[in-house]
């Protein structure tokens, strides 16, 4: 069941086109989502509330390693995709391996582009594209005290490594 929400880029584009035709407001966000925690859940639930459908662009394992270092991700892309797809407020998950999600954003043409408030609108990749196509860009306050990096550090400190 959750696997049906994990789509190739081509299938994600077709689904986005259908949702646009049906006047569904598409929200897009992206990230690594390695070791899922409350901050992720809160963020994604708030993102979904900004529209009718939430598409999540998920970094591939290779792109996570480039961004976060050779010891990451902790959880592989298949498992991360399944975990994200299992969330009721995530409507579609698609992987991307490029350094940024710009090509994916351009392909899906979301109505709302969302990132955490550790970004400003001017630093969000794809913001100019979304705004130039009549959409909007939002930042969502992050839950303080939750981060995958902090969890990894706590586990390493507590259990050795």
pLDDT of residue 128: 98
**In the predicted model, is pLDDT for residue 136 greater than 80?**
yes
Give the tens place of pLDDT for each residue, 43-52: 999 999 999 9
Task: Give the architecture (CATH level 2) of 2-159.
Answer: 3-Layer(aba) Sandwich (3.40)
Assign 118 to helix, strand or coil.
coil
Q: Which is higher by pLDDT, 59 or 150? A: 59
Q: What's the whole-model pTM score?
A: 0.92
Give the tens place of pLDDT for each residue, 66-101: 998 888 899 999 999 999 999 999 999 999 999 999
Distance CA 69, CA 91 (A): 29
CB atoms within 10 A of CB 88: 7
């Amino acid at each position: 069941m959750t696997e049906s929400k994990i789509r190739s880029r081509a299938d994600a584009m077709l689904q986005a086109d259908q949702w646009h035709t049906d006047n569904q407001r598409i929200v897009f966000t992206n990230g690594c989502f390695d070791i899922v925690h409350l901050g992720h859940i809160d963020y994604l639930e708030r993102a979904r509330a900004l529209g009718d459908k939430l598409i999540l662009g998920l970094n591939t394992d290779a792109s996570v390693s480039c961004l976060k270092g050779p010891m990451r991700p902790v959880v592989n892309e298949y498992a991360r995709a399944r975990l994200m797809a299992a969330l009721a407020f995530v409507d579609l998950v698609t992987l991307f391996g490029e350094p940024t999600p710009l090509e994916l954003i351009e392909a899906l043409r979301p109505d709302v582009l969302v990132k955490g408030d550790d970004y400003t609108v001017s630093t969000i990749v794809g913001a100019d594209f979304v705004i130039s196509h009549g959409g909007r860009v939002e930042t969502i306050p992050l839950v303080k005290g939750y981060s995958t990096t902090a969890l990894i550090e706590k586990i390493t400190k507590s259990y050795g490594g």
